[in-house]
Structure 1
Amino acid sequence: MRSPVSLCTGVTYDRSSIQHWLESGHDTCPATMQILSNKDFTPNLTLHRLISTWSRPLTVSEREVGVLIDKVGSERESETTCVDCLVKIAEFVSGCEENRRFLARYCGFLDTMVGVLRRNSVEIVVSESVVRVLDLILIENGVKEKLNGLILKSNNNCLSSILKVVHKGSLDSKIKSIKLLDSISVDNESKRQLAETEKLLSVLFDHLKTAEDQKLDDAILSILITLSATRSVKTQLVRLGLVQVLSNTLWNPKSANPNIEKAIKLLSMIVTCSEGRSAVSEEPTCAAGIVERIMKVKKTAREDGMVVVWSMCCLYKDSRVKDAVVTSNGVTKMLLVMQSENEGIVRRMSGDLIKVLGKDNKYGLGVYDSKTTHIMPY
């Protein structure tokens, strides 16, 4: 396919092929056999760009890649030469799937890349280029596991170089370096080691607090979920002010749904420690934000949100959270949740919440003025 065009049915064909079909007397879409209301073509510009990118000749051959890797690994080469070589390697990897596999299997390639990050006082522009190349091959089998061993078992310079990119690199480099760290967190030991890396959590939190970019926030929330496996990490994040930041994410109308769902997931992990529960109790907009979003997220996030609200209201009987839930029209939302779930833990938790919130007049359904008349909880 060289010149992709779409018919009125939305199906895309090569222009010469579909023209031949129609000129042969057909008046249907070949894929769907629908009769065409018109025979106009609409150029598929997105697919055309993808085809052009895929089919353009490679500027670097497999043989030349070996030479480039040797230059990158040589400390005698200048910073400019190193970056130029890494740019060419990235172009080669981006060329096609076969190139990516070739580079991932190339003997000594990953060792060379990590070796550059280990160097004393490596320039950030070089680290950014290395991170970009590594990001392109992370999906290949065994790469994450090997990088885990190379990065986490090397000297501290390696993590320091990546952290510098997280802290001061370009937006795209920050995202890629965070994803790199997240991908090498393959077991509890690596998660612990990364969480204990000096200033990593605080740098991640500072970026999240300033809400620079939705994609950056998504990467940060993902790695925080990965690292929040121990009580010490949860406590540290709570002390940094994570609950307030997550609450802001829930209430921010510009927050993307995946970020909202990850924020709720993090809160469900935070409330498993006493410091986290205290922070949720002291931040009244947090529970209210979960209630506000509870019917607008995917099922897994709805369960995470119910865990937070149920834990605070039913298990720990926090009066401030109860007030926040009721004030934010929470009883109606719990009824909606119950109606949407035929069975399972979420339905049981919503039933428990309705009972708890209806025990006395303060939270009772008798004094609750709901406009929702078609929902019956029992």
Structure 2
Amino acid sequence: MISAWRRIRRDGRRAGKKELLDGNLEMEFTIPTHFRCPISLDLMKDPVTLSTGITYDRESIERWIEAGNQTCPVTNQVLRSFEQIPNHAIRKMIQDWCVQNRSYGIERIPTPRIPVTPYEVSEICTRLLAAAQRGDQRRCVELVGKIKVWGKESERNKRCIVDNGTGCVLSALFESFATVSIEKYAGLLEDILSTLTWMFPLGEEGQSKLGSATSLHCLVWFLKSGDLSARQSAVLVLKELLSLDQRHVDALAEIEGVADALFKIIKEPICPTATKASLMAVFYMISPSSISEKISERFVEMGLVSLMLEILVDSDRSICEKALGVLDGVCNYDEAREKAYDHSLTMPLLVKKILRVSDLATEISISLLWKLCKNEQREEGGVLVEALQVGAFQKLLVLLQVGCGERTKERVTELLKLLNLYRDRVDCVDSSMDFKYLKRPF
């Protein structure tokens, strides 16, 4: 008993020493008040001073101003100017303090790069246009490269570059050099494309330049002939462009080889980002329009239905949703539905995706089932029987219990009526069964 008591007292003294040590560490580790941003109360990484003389961390004060505030958060004075002057003295003191306390795990904050200003962006755009007029390819490459470097430095730089019309200038340059010779200026055009991927929205003038016949032909050229990086940039730009105006979709569909190029990017993936962009581009092109039927027929001939079903077997949520969307769009046409009827994976996959991926995937799967079952012209309800065999009736009942949108609910109800006509041909599981085996999004 005595030895046990001594052990407890000894452990208690050690714990006390540890608490005192931890307390000392906490005291030494305390960040000086003047090193903290008055807004976030965190250690400032890029201290800047406003016209009121108060210093803030650049990121915090920029968010404050972008939210529409026009006063100094500390003094509440109206800001005469929104200019943010780097406080090099405070920044140097913070860096020295970090070095002195590195034994406590404090890392020295790097010297921040001065963000690009609207004036600098306007200046480089002016020089770009002047170099383009002279046909100075080398100078244009240098200036576009500088814009890319600025964009990589920070999201703030990207916003500044986009907000000051750089996308419009680059779109004009792209059209101008593509008009002269795509092969001759391929390197410059590829640099412009890779920069344009994060320049949207472009504004009406920029959209007009990039959506011109010359620019679209150049984009398709890169889709077919460029290296992997160029093809990825081209499809990302196309996806953004097609989402803006149906006229661009119609103009692109008229260009020979565009369907083959997009199909190849999906079939032989470059990266998930390019695959998603290609799926969206195909989706826009097969959406109902004056020429969508023609381009849809071409996609079906190449095997789009089979390819989408193969993607659905094993893909992440985002790609699955887009593949279902493409399949739903192309199945508005008889040829595509015939391909879907003939494929052994169609019904099992569509039924499987209900309540397993996302609400959007469920809605699209129901839309597809409805189109295929409603438009079937075969005898003895082949598709309906197959749907029953893979458990569609039970899944649809569960979906009604879980809840769904009004339009989807109407289609589910109609599907249940159609399926019910053929239930006596299949050994269906009783609808009151336990559905715990289903993976539900709730």
Amino acid of the structure 1 residue aligned with 2:176: G
1:181 correspondence with 2:233: no
Alignment of 1:305-316 (within 5 A): 305-316=365-376
Structure 1 match to 2:334: 274
What's the Cα RMSD here? 3.4
Uncovered stretches (5+) of structure 1, i.e. residues with no partner = 4-11, 18-41
Q: State the shift of 1:336 in Å.
A: 1.9
Alpha-carbon deviation of 1:263?
A: 1.2
Show structure 1 runs of 4+ deviating over 6 A. 42-45
The aligned residue for residue 113 of structure 1 is 174
1:331 aligns with one of 372, 381, 393: 393
Q: Say if 1:75 and 1:363 are closer, same or farther in 2 by CA, change over 3 A.
A: farther
Q: Cα deviations across residues 61-85 of structure 1 (Å, max 9, x unaligned)?
A: 343453244334532444xx54333
Quick check: 284-293 or 59-68, which moved more? 59-68
Question: Displacement, 1:343?
Answer: 6.1
Question: Alpha-carbon deviations, 1:162-182, whole Å to 9, x = none?
Answer: 223223445454333223223
Read off the aligned partner of 1:57 and give its amino acid letter: I
Pairing 1:302–2:353 present: no
Q: Which amino acid aligns with 2:346?
A: C
**Cα displacement (A) at 1:267:** 1.6
The AA in structure 2 aligned to 1:357 is: L
Tell me what 2:299 maps to.
237
Instruction: Say if 2:42 is the partner of 1:14.
Output: yes
**Paired residue type of 2:284:** T
Map 1:78-157; keep pairs closer than 5 Å.
Answer: 78=138, 81-93=139-151, 95-104=157-166, 110-120=171-181, 121-140=183-202, 142=203, 145-155=204-214
Counterpart of 2:197 in 1: which secondary structure?
helix
Residue 244 of structure 1: CA displacement? 0.3
Among 216, 220, 234, the residue aligned to 1:163: 220
Indicate if the aligned counterparts of 1:73 and 1:115 stay in contact, CA closer than 8 A. Answer: no
Change (3 A) 1:90 1:273: same
- Amino acid of the residue matched to residue 286 of structure 2? S
1:283 maps to which of 326, 343, 351: 343
* Gaps in structure 2 of 5+ consecutive residues: 1-30, 32-39, 46-103, 436-442
Preserved CA contact (<8 Å) 1:288 1:325: yes
- Give aligned pairs, total: 324
Which structure ranks higher in relative contact order (CA pairs < 8 Å, sequence separation ≥ 6)?
1
Task: Report the residue type matching 2:180 in the other structure.
Answer: R
Residues in 2 aligned to 1:103 and 1:324: alpha-carbon distance in whole angstroms: 56
Q: Secondary structure at the match of 1:354?
A: helix
Structure label with greater radius of gyration:
2
Residue 363 of structure 1: how far off its partner (Å): 4.2
Q: Relative to structure 1, is the Cα distance of residues 257 and 99 closer, same or farther in structure 2, using a 3 angstrom cutoff?
A: same
- Aligned partners of 2:322 and 2:127: how far apart in 1? 43
Distance in 2 (CA, whole Å) between partners of 1:225 and 1:276 is 14
Deviations, residues 171-204 of structure 1 (Å, cap 9, x unaligned): 4543332232233333333211101111111110
Q: TM-score when scaled to structure 2?
A: 0.64
